[in-house]
Structure 1
Amino acid sequence: MAKNIIITGTSRGIGYQMVALLEDSGHKVLALSRDAAPISGLDISNCTCFSCDITESKDIKKVSAFVKEHWGHVDILINNSGYLVSKPFNKLKYEDFKTSYDVNVFGAVSLTQAILPFMKKDGHVVNISSMGGVRGSAKFPGLAAYSSSKGAIITLTEVLAEEYKETGPQFNVLALGSVQTEMLEEAFPGYKAPLSAKEMAKYIIDFSIKGNKFYNGKVLEVSSSTP
């Protein structure tokens, strides 16, 4: 059955690949990112894209207005936007932490609150976190702002799953290991991840469509490395 799917952070990396994989799938896609140009260039008939900064309330309202006018309901929301800064803790500034939490936590909160009224009981909210936010995983130096924000989105997901367990939708979070993306390359030049953005994008799409039949309020560690 065709789904109405919203994906954030689609200008590059995993988000961009998710949109490309959904071409001609029968599903309708709303692709959101601050820079809409890359997705616009794909010219995908089943995809609508426009510039959206999830940290700006006026842009969140644009999303609500679009859904109300064109879709009526949303089946899947994938909060994929991410901001990563890599610096030693004593070099991190307040602004680094604020931007990390604004994008990785508060932006996802704002968009989720705006979209929930349009979601049915069998809807699925998928939040994208990181292995750095998971208890017991290796915590890499330099990622204090990033990893702590990704830990926050995990806890948020668990709480929302409990809060909405009777009415839906379902909430799950994927804690991703290293993926070869532009963001990773910028933070760790020369590092080669075991998975491509396209490979991870396919996994996330499949999970988003089917995973809430099996999971709710769960943290799934999507990583081929140990720990």
Structure 2
Amino acid sequence: MKNIVITGTSRGIGFEMVKLFAEKGFSVLALSRNEQPVEALNLAHVKSMSCDLSKEEDLKAASAYISSEWKQVDVLINNAGAFINKPFEEITSVEFQELYSTNVLGVIALTQKLLPFMKRESHVVNISTMGGVQGSVKFPGLSAYSSSKAAVITLTELLAEEYKEKGPAFNVLALGAVQTEMFEAAFPGMQAPLSAKEMAEYIVDFSLNGNKYYNGKLLQVSNSTP
């Protein structure tokens, strides 16, 4: 039985991934500021914890749970993401800092906390966006969000290089349009080609098998623009 940690599990893709991993019989630690949606599912081998990635005490609590209950992490999916759609001149420095705190610093902090529990065969999957990929179509209003997700891409490549001898593997998925609350906020009225469950199925499979074929790689998971 593998041990899976997922962030951003209260809705959308993260919520669907929790259910899919549980169906496969894996142990799941679901981390989100709102732990109640996953808790209400009452799934076997699933622990839902309230976790603000910017708070050291919450990160310590997650680490303590793993240390006492699991001892090992096989897959970490850094899926949590803050979002803002606002003209650049109107975004405050506080809004930029808060978004980066979750989208970049939160990924860094949680990964650092969990690395001691990972083996060479473990896999860290970071979730980015097509808007963070150089040369992809860019959209106004997403300067904070897309630039933060671009930072996650480069971070993934650097960590894969640093840990290539001892593991774990690090890969990053740049997602295209998926019908989630975040997508609806970014592109009101637009219909995405994939549902949250469909994308969750892809990420679940990749997290379990992708590190056999990839390390330090950016994979563009998109069949549309955006």
TM range (shorter): over 0.9
Equivalent position of 2:80 in the other structure: 81
Q: Report the 3-state secondary structure (helix = DSSP H, G, I; strand = E; otherwise coil) of the residue aligned with 1:139.
A: coil
Structure 2 residues without counterparts, runs of 5 or longer: none
Equivalent position of 1:72 in the other structure: 71
User: What do you get for the CA RMSD once the two structures are aligned?
Assistant: 1.0
User: Relative to structure 1, is the Cα distance of residues 226 and 35 closer, same or farther in structure 2, using a 3 angstrom cutoff?
Assistant: closer
Equivalent position of 1:180 in the other structure: 179
Partner Cα separation in structure 1 for residue 69 and residue 19 of structure 2: 21
Partner Cα separation in structure 2 for residue 24 and residue 206 of structure 1: 13
Deviations along 1:186-206, one digit per CA (max 9) or x if unpaired, are 333212111100000000000
Equivalent position of 2:8 in the other structure: 9
Deviations along 1:113-133, one digit per CA (max 9) or x if unpaired, are 000000000100000000000
Q: Displaced runs of 4+ in structure 1, greater than 4 A? A: none
Q: CA deviation at 1:24?
A: 3.2
Q: CA deviation at 1:141?
A: 0.6
Q: Contact 1:24–1:46 at 8 Å: present in 2 too?
A: no
Q: Contact 1:4–1:29 at 8 Å: present in 2 too?
A: yes
Partner Cα separation in structure 2 for residue 86 and residue 36 of structure 1: 25
Aligned identity (percent) is: 61
Letter in 1 for 2:215: N
Q: CA deviation at 1:161?
A: 0.1
Partner Cα separation in structure 1 for residue 54 and residue 202 of structure 2: 27
Give matches, 1:30-69, under 5 Å.
30-69=29-68
Q: Contact 1:86–1:143 at 8 Å: present in 2 too?
A: yes
TM-score, normalised with respect to structure 2: 0.98
Q: Report the 3-state secondary structure (helix = DSSP H, G, I; strand = E; otherwise coil) of the residue aligned with 1:41.
A: helix
Partner Cα separation in structure 2 for residue 110 and residue 10 of structure 1: 18
Q: Contact 2:176–2:225 at 8 Å: present in 1 too?
A: no
Paired residue total = 226
Partner Cα separation in structure 2 for residue 133 and residue 143 of structure 1: 10
Partner Cα separation in structure 1 for residue 186 and residue 222 of structure 2: 19
Q: Report the 3-state secondary structure (helix = DSSP H, G, I; strand = E; otherwise coil) of the residue aligned with 2:22.
A: coil
Q: Contact 1:154–1:219 at 8 Å: present in 2 too?
A: yes
Determine if the alignment matches structure 1 residue 130 to structure 2 residue 122: no
TM-score, normalised with respect to structure 1: 0.97
Q: Contact 2:159–2:170 at 8 Å: present in 1 too?
A: yes
Q: CA deviation at 1:69?
A: 0.1
Letter in 2 for 1:35: N
Q: Report the 3-state secondary structure (helix = DSSP H, G, I; strand = E; otherwise coil) of the residue aligned with 2:77.
A: strand
Q: Report the 3-state secondary structure (helix = DSSP H, G, I; strand = E; otherwise coil) of the residue aligned with 1:161.
A: helix
Letter in 2 for 1:186: A
Q: Report the 3-state secondary structure (helix = DSSP H, G, I; strand = E; otherwise coil) of the residue aligned with 1:212.
A: helix
Deviates more, 1:149-158 or 1:87-96: 87-96
Letter in 2 for 1:153: V
Equivalent position of 1:28 in the other structure: 27
Partner Cα separation in structure 2 for residue 99 and residue 222 of structure 1: 27
Deviates more, 1:42-51 or 1:186-195: 186-195
Letter in 2 for 1:207: F
Partner Cα separation in structure 1 for residue 180 and residue 164 of structure 2: 34
Letter in 2 for 1:189: P
Structure 1 residues without counterparts, runs of 5 or longer: none
Partner Cα separation in structure 2 for residue 192 and residue 125 of structure 1: 30
